[in-house]
């Protein structure tokens, strides 16, 4: 039971529970081998009472890395199926999810999504016999993010098939002696990769000659839904189309060709970072040619808005490749956004991976999502992490603000990765009336990420509610900007990460402004923020990027 942190044995004839025992945190996969049950725990073992590095996750708490806020452990619990007695708990990689056993049940294999590796457990000793990296371009690729999250095995037990979600591929692993009974090689080796649909989430071997691979993302949210009443076409980010690929198991020549295809399609993602290292003595430019080269910008204001497509806002812009018929918050409602596009840059063909808030904030803040997010898509059965309140959501590599600080940059967060705690009786109207009268509403921004509070602005309301007008957020930022202006030298943070979320709107929910009003509020706040920045002394002495 993933939410209850339990393993249940149920009599399928009567429906009665035979026994119920505690597992680790967020159990996910289960397999049977050598008369024992093996259960993966997504977030590892239950934290001890004196563990200071613990963060809350829905329905429990988890051991976390104090430097990133992400879970720091993954485990496999081993049980006696007769009475449910815990035999042993084995520490494996991070985010262990899928688990299968070899045909002879002498080995168990665990997919560790946040470690880009497979753990092979010898069921005779119940110890890890081999850790098998499955990273694409392993020898020269230092970047985490393949997300192995599904497993299948050949009938002879010598080949393991691993669904690497982020690679859109299945890794083909030839098992060695430490992970298979009849292997010839000493160690396991990735023979190649098979291309799949978007984010493969499992693998099933069919008749030892083909694979069935379900693709979680597949067509994503691009599938139109036609109304049964009026025939109108609509799109919804919470209604996505998955698929299943049936793939013939390739021979060595075909696998080599498949591998080249997978490498080519991943060139725009992590593999692209391997091509060119930064050069020395390169003159600063606005956008460096290579990562690590200097930019003319000293200050970056990273403004994160919410849940609007390009066409909804800018479909009416004459210079863009948009669809005017889909524009519902055009220039009349968003004049500042349109003015920015007129004066600076219009990115009319810039695509994003996050289709909804829960996914989008992960891509925005971490440049990736974990397997936990992908396996929650559409159902969101544990959490909806749009304000970062779940340690299982976080990548082991940390967040954008962690990266910046690790490189010696000063950072300030305005409203992102936090939620305001306040009197539950407060309403949008009560807060807005107080704002119009020049009064403050009491709240405290809270975060489950250890690295956030010390760089978090406490006067800028976080995105946990739409009860605050974005004008309050703009006012809070401008107050801090004015304070920085009065300081000696340049004390303005080099990276400012800001949530400006009210273009999300509250739909037609009672007690809130209309969607048009909330988008207009958001646009006005954006305009005020940019006006304040452009009139500040920092604008004159340093280039800005926002």
Cβ atoms of 239 and 223 within 8 Å: the answer is: yes
User: Which of 263-268's residues contact partners 24+ apart within 8 Å by CB, and which partners?
Assistant: 263/136, 263/137, 263/193, 265/168, 265/195, 266/136, 266/167, 266/168
Nearest to 55 by CA among 41, 65, 40: 65
pLDDT at 137: 84
Alpha helices, H only, 76-197: none
pLDDT at 228: 79
pLDDT at 287: 86
Gyration radius of the chain's alpha carbons: 26
Percent helix / strand / coil, the chain, rounded to 5: 25, 30, 50
Residues of the chain with CATH 2.130.10.10: 6-274
pLDDT at 516: 97
Pairing, β 297-304 against β 495-499: parallel
Q: What DSSP designation does 295 have?
A: B
Q: What DSSP designation does 456 have?
A: B
Query: From residue 198, how far is each of 210, 241, 262, 496 by CA, in Å?
Result: 19, 11, 12, 33
Q: Give mean pLDDT in consecutive 10-residue pieces for the chain, a chain of 546 residues.
A: 90 95 96 98 93 76 91 97 97 98 98 98 98 88 91 97 97 98 95 96 96 90 76 76 94 97 82 77 90 90 92 95 94 97 88 83 93 87 85 94 95 96 96 96 92 96 93 98 95 97 94 97 98 92 54
pLDDT at 385: 87
CB within 8 Å of 149: residues ≥ 6 apart: 97, 98, 111, 113, 163, 164, 165, 201, 202, 371, 374, 375
Pairing, β 107-112 against β 96-101: antiparallel
Q: What DSSP designation does 249 have?
A: P
Helix (H, G, I), strand (E, B) or coil at 338: helix
Whole-number Å distance between alpha carbons of 38 and 85: 12
Specify the length of the chain in residues. Answer: 546
Whole-number Å distance between alpha carbons of 480 and 4: 44
Q: Is 12 exposed, middle or buried (0-12, 13-18, 19+ CB in 10 A)?
A: exposed
6-274: CATH, from 3.40.50.300, 3.30.470.20, 3.30.110.30, 2.130.10.10: 2.130.10.10
pLDDT at 246: 97
């Amino acid at each position: 039971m993933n939410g209850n942190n339990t393993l249940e044995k149920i009599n399928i004839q009567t429906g009665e529970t035979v026994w119920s025992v505690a597992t680790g945190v967020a159990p996910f996969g289960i397999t049977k081998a050598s008369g024992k049950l093996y259960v993966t725990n997504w977030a590892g073992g239950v934290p001890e009472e004196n563990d200071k590095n613990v963060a809350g996750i829905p329905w429990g708490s988890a051991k976390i890395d104090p430097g990133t806020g992400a879970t720091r452990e993954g485990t496999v619990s081993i049980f006696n199926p007769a009475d449910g007695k815990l035999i042993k708990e084995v520490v494996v990689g991070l985010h262990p999810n899928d688990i299968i056993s070899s045909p002879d049940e002498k080995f168990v294999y665990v997919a560790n999504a946040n470690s880009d590796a497979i753990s092979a457990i010898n069921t005779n000793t119940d110890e890890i016999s081999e850790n098998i990296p499955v990273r694409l371009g392993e020898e020269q690729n230092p970047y985490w993010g393949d997300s192995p999250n599904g497993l299948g095995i050949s009938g002879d037990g010598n080949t393991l098939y691993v669904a690497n979600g982020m690679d859109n591929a299945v890794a083909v692993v030839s098992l060695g002696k430490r992970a298979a009974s009849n292997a010839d090689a000493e160690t396991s080796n990735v023979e190649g990769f098979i291309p799949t649909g978007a984010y493969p989430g499992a693998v099933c071997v069919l008749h030892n000659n083909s694979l069935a691979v379900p693709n979680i993302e597949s067509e994503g949210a691009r599938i139109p839904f036609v109304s049964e009443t009026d025939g109108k076409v609509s799109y919804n980010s919470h209604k996505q189309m998955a698929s299943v690929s049936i793939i013939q198991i390739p021979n060595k020549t075909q696998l080599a060709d498949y591998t080249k295809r997978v490498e080519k399609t991943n060139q725009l993602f992590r593999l692209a970072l391997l091509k060119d290292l930064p050069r020395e003595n390169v003159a600063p430019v606005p956008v460096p040619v290579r990562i690590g080269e200097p930019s003319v910008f000293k200050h970056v204001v990273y403004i994160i808005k919410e849940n609007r497509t390009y066409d909804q806002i800018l479909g009416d812009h004459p210079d863009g490749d948009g669809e005017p018929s889909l524009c519902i918050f055009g220039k009349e409602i968003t004049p500042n956004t349109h003015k920015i596009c007129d004066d600076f840059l219009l990115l009319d063909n810039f695509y994003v991976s996050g289709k909804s808030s829960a996914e989008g904030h992960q891509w925005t803040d971490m440049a990736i999502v974990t397997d936990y997010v992908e396996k929650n898509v559409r159902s969101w059965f544990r959490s909806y992490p749009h304000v970062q309140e779940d340690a299982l959501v976080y990548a082991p590599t940390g967040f954008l603000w962690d990266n910046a600080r690790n490189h010696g940059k000063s950072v300030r967060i305005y409203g992102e990765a936090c939620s305001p705690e306040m009197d539950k009786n407060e309403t949008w109207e009560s807060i807005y009336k107080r704002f119009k009268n020049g009064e403050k509403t009491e709240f405290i921004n809270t975060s489950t990420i250890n690295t956030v509070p010390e760089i978090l602005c406490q006067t800028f309301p976080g995105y946990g509610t739409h009860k605050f007008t974005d004008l309050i957020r703009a006012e809070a930022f401008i107050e801090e900007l004015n304070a920085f202006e009065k300081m000696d030298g340049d004390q303005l943070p080099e990276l400012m990460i800001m949530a400006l979320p009210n273009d999300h709107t509250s739909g037609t929910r009672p007690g809130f402004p209309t969607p048009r009003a909330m988008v207009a509020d958001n646009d006005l706040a954006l305009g005020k923020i940019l006006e304040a920045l452009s009139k500040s002394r920092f604008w004159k002495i340093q280039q800005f990027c926002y």
